[in-house]
Structure 1
């Protein structure tokens, strides 16, 4: 783990949930409680699919009758609809079910903003983007800049040699995203998530070649997201 002079760490932590039995929920819950993001690989079975499925339900707006009036609930609502689905999904993992396991899943949902779901059949770059989104959700701007610095053409912070190491690794593993590709992924995801400071950092310090990077395909994708329009106009 790389330490900096102020005692912070630039080493990003992300939990990848692949399949898994009920006992792995202890680690997932602990990670979320410590603000470590979790990327769930849907389609791998086990608690990964259970958590991914109930997460989608928890995001939906539902109505609950209270005092003769229908009340709109938005966000993570632990109601009977969700409880029943948690029970059904967990029974797929353990035939007899488990109240403890069901409770842990519902506890994880309380931190659903730190959970990102990606399907196992997606391309590798899609999974990398999922990890980047997870980091952008959970890290402060200074922490993200420290992570980005590793992949920038010229290092701006301490830790000499890391950028060269990333370059050498890419030469040995050409299928892996290069440092430039990774910065480009960070740029797109930061724009999609309306994180202007990170976008500005990448552009100001020549993290990507703007004229080559912003192709018609990239711009069209960004314009599909309403939040990106103001940032694109500034560019």
Structure 2
């Protein structure tokens, strides 16, 4: 049975479907030696390569789910040639995995890594309203007006951010819980209000909290995975 190339690369644990589309667009994927289009399909007998490397399905492959505390300076990418400070080389996991979503280079904290491409889009899709919690410090004192503005929506990237929970934790420190993931969203929101982010740390994604030291990772517990799958059960995927 034929499978879309982005779904194929996701199912074999190479990358997410979103990342696969980017690789296809950049001409880094071939099917039987030819560069495919977005939406092209793969048969079992086809030879798929990414950046010249043959990609094969591994029968009975165990799904891997890691919670990693990303340090500042590490980039959430699998492109090891483009970015030397990438997350894959940093953790040196013995099997092929890729990050779910991104946490920018200057930020730190929780990020998931997996070889399960099917789970990625459910977690990332904004309409699914999955919570991500951050602790943020800014360059000057915040007040109730700042908290109100951040929580009720800020104009960035030609849109208004969704309502979110914001709580002041100190003179220049606050907690924010987002259910959307616009590019550098918190930094842009703060900049729009005249503030600069000094530090940004993600401490929770959905039901999984950050509980390992900087630069370390652990596997999801059985209970965490069961609860995560329960939360994702009604989620819609990015692709059919």
Return the TM-score normalized by structure 2. Answer: 0.25
Which fold has the larger relative contact order, with Cα–Cα distance below 8 Å and residues 6 or more apart in sequence? 2
Q: Which has the higher strand share?
A: 2
Which protein has the larger Cα radius of gyration, Structure 1 or Structure 2? Answer: 1
